[in-house]
Structure formats: structure tokens, C-alpha cells
Amino acid sequence: MILPSMGVVSELVTAFSKKTDLRLQVHRLFKRGHRRDFLPGLGSPHVCGGQSVYAGIVFSALSFAVAIPSAIKVFNWTATLYKGSVSYQAPMLYAIGFIGLFTMGGLTGLFLATLAVDVHVHATYFVVAHFHYIMVGGAVMGYMGGLHFWWPKITDACIRTDGQDWRRPSFLIGLT
């Protein structure tokens, strides 16, 4: 769910900052590393839920391994925005919201990947918040940014922007 949104945000950041993606080789490495590490890391929410200690260690290491290429991609987006001529239109604001939500969800993921912390926060709203920041917040912000970017190009009809002033903040406040 999150990988298509990450691709959309990469496109939006390069289009609205009027710069090329600064680290294309890093992006290629990210895609390989994220695909390799993501699926086995799905067992990490179950580290404390009936798995052996060794399985918990493996899933903890895989969760940290997913965090590395994800952090590289966030730094890639911010480096692309740095000193660019950023146009703050609706799709770009959704992309910036995605970067913020994905960063907050990623930071909570680091806590969940640490076994000593995961023992105490397992089966709490902290895990639910992590999942929703990444999957719901990140995916919806990426999809909405892509919709506002490509819909006028697909249909040759403009999207009304008079309601955009309250949609993004209300979504961010509602999610938080």
C-alpha cells in the first residue's frame, strides 16, 4: 500500500521543486532493499505474541533493515526540495504532508523494532498509531497528491481548489 504512494511522492517532489531527483542510484538501491526486506518484516508486530525469542530477534533485525532504505528515501526527498524553486500547490502540499506522516510513522517503527520497548507497547494503541501513520496517513496523502496532480492531465478538467484550504489540515488533525 505504501510503495505506490512513495513513487507518487517522488514524482511530485521532483515536479514541484523543479529539480531532478538528486540521488537516482540511491533510489534504485532503495527499491531493491525495500522489496527484499519489507515482506519478511510483516511478522514484526507479532514479536511478543507467541513467537520464539529467536524469531523475535530476526523480525527485529528485519524491521531495522526496512528503516534504513526508508530513511534514505526521506532524506532524498528533502535533499531534492532543498534550494529548489518549490511551488506550493495542492499536490505538493499533499506530498509534504506525506513526508511528515511517513517520518512520524517511521520513528514509531524504530521503537517497535526495539525488542525491549516492543515488550511493553505490544498490543497497545502505539502499534495501532504506527500502522495508521504509515499505511493510512501515508497512503492517503500520496494518493490524494497523485489525484490532484494527474486528474487534470487525464480528464482535461481542473479540480476546484477553493476547498483545499480545509481538507488537508482537517485530514492531518483527524489522523493525529
- DSSP annotation string for 111-175: HHHSHHHHHHHTTSHHHHHHHIIIIIIIHHHHHHHHHHHHHHHHHS-PPP-TTHHHHHHHHHHHH
Residue-wise pLDDT for 100-158, tens only, equals: 999 999 999 999 999 889 888 988 999 999 999 988 888 999 999 999 999 999 998 87
Mean pLDDT, the chain, integer? 83
Closest CA to 145 of 162, 130, 164: 164
What's the whole-number mean pLDDT along residues 90-98? 92
110 or 168: which leads in pLDDT:
110
Output the pLDDT for position 52: 81
pTM, two decimals, is 0.84
